[in-house]
Amino acid sequence: MSTKVHPVDQMLPLGQMSLLGLQHVLAFYASGVAIPLIIGGAIGFTQEQIAILVAADLFTCGIATLIQSLGIGKFAGIRLPVVLGCAFAPVGVMISIGNSLGVTAIYGSIIGAAIFMLIMAPFFGKLLRFFPSVVTGSVVTIVGLTLIPVGFNDIGGGVGSPTFGAPINLFIAAFTMLVILVANRYFKGFMQSISILIGLIVGTIVAGFFGMVDINVVYEAKWFGVVKPFAFGLPTFNIEAILTMCVTMIVVMIESTGTFFVVGKFCDKEITDKDVVRGLRAEGVASILGGIFNSFPYTTYSGNAGLVGLTKVASRYVVATAGIILFCLGLLPKFAALATIIPKPVLGAAMVIMFSMVATAGIEILQKVDFSKNGNLLIAACSIGVGVGISVVPDLFSQTPGVIQILFGESGIVLGSATAVLLNIFFNYGKEETEVKAAAEVEAQEAASETV
């Protein structure tokens, strides 16, 4: 009697896995390389040094994605179709450390904070009782809603672009969205599953007729490059820098936990506390590698979670294939440069669709919640309101100390998530055990009925 293989563990034909993996790479690429570009420019790196950062980022992203999707025994790896990339939350902290203490202190703080993640992961897994559906649904919704503006900024042409909001940018973005929707509506099977990739390719080709594609970067890139450990010197370990980075990595752990639940929802797989621990450990291991190979802290990318929801392809081996492609791109700068020619409006259109899928997944989780009990309506309303509100008004914390600005002013995800957790404790802590157990049984029955 054969055992049915869960979609997460399904092996697809090599050709399909390669194209689906490439789709993940293209969807991830712009956001993935943005952080080394931002940090390198902010701390005064030369173009050659920034190129080292980008190559190191791709190289380590590949290794990190393989660790997370395939796992390291029972120690690390959530074994779901997730792509790991540089985390956005620590960017401000790293720039501050780099400008005051130097780049070697950045890598020292990354390695120190990554070890902190490994130590904290088992304890964090035991905190899952503070993440019922009302909390996870709110956090996932906040993650999706606060990321949508990132896509719209790219649709406009990129923040600071002299042509931001130009009609041609809007036309190319709308055309790309239309291609993705048409492909998803009229194509079937495999072709439907690569609708994002089709949109990116067709959108880039059309944008090329309007002079929006510059291939000079491909000509100028080298064919082969080796990623060297500690290319900028041995790391220096400053206690204050490490502690600041540790606080920021707690935010990364919260964001990643929310993304784990998103992917679990898309893959129809229950996420347990052990899964969360292994997933966070994988990010800790990956972040240590980031400190060694001149890259940065790693997190599970919610944008690629949205791609899983859109394509309905849950195989983790597809994402492992993406990890291999990223690893190779880190060693082949000329081929890596090909992905950089995708115009921002094209990529922004795809990002808006994927991030919206993440927000919708959060709303689906919230549908399980009984909003007539335990202040659940206020928990969801206040947390989502805080998260989205801060993202809309980013200068709200401009008069507060720098640490507060870094933690809460960069993104509404952090404070919105904290609001959901704290309000859930406020309304539900100390409830009778039978009441909590009954609520858990109701959620389990609803989940089972959905599976059937």
8 A C-beta contact, residue 298 and residue 286: yes
- What tens digit of pLDDT does each residue of 32-54 get? 676 787 677 667 777 677 778 88
Least reliable range by pLDDT among 134-148, 152-166, 298-312, 322-336: 298-312
pLDDT(172) > 80 = yes
pLDDT of residue 89: 67
Which residues, 6+ apart, have CB-to-CB distance to 152 below 8 Å?
348, 352
Q: The pTM is what?
A: 0.67
What is the residue-averaged pLDDT of the chain? 79
pLDDT(27) > 90 = no
pLDDT(156) > 60 = yes
Confidence tier at 284 by pLDDT (50, 70, 90): very high
pLDDT(71) > 60 = yes
Mean pLDDT over residues 308-328, rounded?
A: 83
pLDDT(183) > 70 = yes
pLDDT(220) > 90 = no
DSSP states of 51-69:
HHHHHHHHHHHHHHHHHHH
pLDDT(399) > 80 = no
pLDDT of residue 230: 87
- What tens digit of pLDDT does each residue of 72-120 get? 888 888 888 888 888 776 776 787 788 778 888 889 999 999 999 999 8
Distance, CA of 434 to CA of 415 (rounded, Å): 31
419 versus 87: the higher-pLDDT residue is 419
pLDDT(18) > 80 = yes
452 versus 80: the higher-pLDDT residue is 80
Nearest to 306 by CA among 255, 357, 271, 352: 357
Distance, CA of 187 to CA of 93 (rounded, Å): 45
Nearest to 297 by CA among 29, 16, 64: 64
pLDDT of residue 224: 82
Mean pLDDT over residues 134-162, rounded?
A: 80
Confidence tier at 282 by pLDDT (50, 70, 90): very high
187 Rama sector, left if φ>0, alpha if ψ -120 to 50, beta otherwise:
beta
Confidence tier at 216 by pLDDT (50, 70, 90): confident
242 versus 432: the higher-pLDDT residue is 242
